[in-house]
Structure 1
Amino acid sequence: MKNIPLLDLKAQYQTIREEVRQAVDQVLDNGAYIMGPEVKAFEADVAAYIGVKHAIGVANGTDALLLALDAAGIGEGDEVITTPFTFFATAEVISQVGATPVFVDIDEKTYNIDVAQIRTKINEKTKAIIPVHIFGQPANMDEIMTLANEHQLFVLEDAAQAMGSEYKGRKIGSLGHAATYSFFPTKNLGGYGDGGMIVTNDDELAQRIRILRVHGSSPKYYHSMIGYNSRLDELQATMLRIKLRFLDQWNDARRDKATFYNEALANTSLITPFADDDRKHIYHLYILQAENRDEMMHYLKEKGIASGVYYPVPLHQQNVYLPLGYQEGSLPVSEYMSKRTFAIPLYAELDQDAMNYIVETIQAFYK
């Protein structure tokens, strides 16, 4: 029986092993471990890659969201509109700055926030929108920015799963007022530990974020804000610089493998991922829909194929957010998808034999 993981980080490491080891040795020889030259170089690399003026490295993707909201002045009494179909951090940071998350249901095809429903939630307390480019599929940014401009709202793109994806020829991260990335190891651009980044074209916002990440100080030991200790590690930066050079190649491989899955599974009752023609989906996760999801996943496990649920409980139904008053059925698409969606293995190094076995196993389940 085969043993196919959802993601194989060791296989990716073997493709760049020598470069990574040499880069780590160079950092250790230099002796600059915090906010050193590799962090500055990686920030410049990312800014150029995304097509923005500023990229600011921080400790992780959650901190990236938190510092961006704080720097934008979002706080007590404010409301921030976002999706309930995402990782908890997206809403968590809204609460951490003292604001209230307002959840809007998702589009059933893309799993992204349903822009048509955002307008109905905007009021005098609304200060920001956080669209999440879920699973690497870009959200409808034109309509989101039009709404935001009408109501003077701050737009923070949560691009944790979307490094390298594009919307109408522009890199995700260059469309809102700011965007955040996670370099958690499982991401398309993942480090060997935690890491995150904020990108923006706003000079003042960038300056506030740079001050916030070092305890609110500028210069050192002179504090103008209550800040955070959130710095991207020099070792992570040097390894991420190497990986960034391969990112488009790896994302293209994911897209090719997703196309294979789409075609091979077309004759089953599964619903395969939708991708808009004017957007570049990078398939951070390859998400399927199945009515009998749990049975399917159990069957795959028995055959040595890993799978995962993203996400089993929408954020508006998490215990911590029950006081917000959302009822069962209030966000029906998110609730429906949480019971049907699951991911199967997809990564650049996944070989054709493994993919054939996965497809044949799924087809056998239906037979």
Structure 2
Amino acid sequence: MNPAESLPVRGAGEAAGAGPRNEVAAAAQVSVAPMMDWTDRHCRFFLRLYSPYTRLYTEMLHANAILRGDGARLLRYSPEEQPLAIQLGGSDPALLAQAARRAEDAGYVEVNLNCGCPSDRVRAGTFGACLMLRPALVAECVAAMKRAVRVPVTVKFRIGVVDREAAGGAAAALALGQRFDGEDEAALQGFARALVDAGADALIVHARKAVLGGLSPHENRTVPPLRPDVVAALRRMLARGLSAPVPVVLNGGLRTAAQVLAALPEFDGVMIGREAYHRPELLSELHVALHPDAPAPLEPAEILAAMREYARRETAAGTPLNAITRHMLGMQSGRRGARALRHVLSQEVLRAGVDEVFDRACDILDRAA
């Protein structure tokens, strides 16, 4: 028997901690992308202080690691991080279904499947962006997870993928990565249709192609041109004839509040990547713009106070202080005192305790005011 099929199908109210998660939207208006080595639980606690509504995502976690490794450690988070989604990596429908069930039981409000990471390591494991070349398998994975959980199941992918070997070499692959023609459009629409037919609750689309084996992960975020118009066209295509079309979220190249606000009328949500990490105040700017009647975002001094208490708790449990403060280096980016603050949080933290570090950081803020 297929292990995924042996999992009982869950209905409303059956998941552990059932309640508010019944009302969770499949797509958030604003979210922060899953980013390897960055969006760990310490980073997410910090980013949450800038906006109570932004949906946060874990780093990509492989289904095998959750099921056969230290799943409790990998799934651990602070309640303050909610609303929180998990991104899974893998290509085995049964294992993904089991990992999704574990994530739902842990309290995650969304399960996202990674079909967009272009790294060679991920490709070697047959997951990430290379899965776009196997739409039937991805659809099977989505269907298996949908049978296993009742929280939204979503997929993050690119507008297309180019394999260097299939293209005939690096130069040819790069040329194909630069263009988007009718063949690309048909492949993208077919892939998205398969996901929707399998039950995907939302599609998160990075508006660039991925070049496998021809570009580094960094180059895959910068060299292929951004094509938000392609994502908008995909959304329109999927909406035809439907009273409740699947939400489509735009990802890629969004760096300012103005860009986000300009994109929102055309999409069901936006996902921000590295800009949220390097300049977390962007989340506060969007909070003010999108929720004018909500309480104002925390002030920098209040954020430092919250992080001090968090650091006290975590270091008492054995977490190195710099594992927490390394995610805070974008605080006050572009403002007076930012450089001194980065020095304290990245260098002085190596030889000082929690209170000394945060006292010094607060002093820098006071002098910069």
Does the alignment reach a TM-score above 0.5? no
Q: Which has the higher contact order (CA 8 A, sep 6+)?
A: 1
Give the TM-score taking structure 1 as reference length.
Answer: 0.29
More helix by share: 2
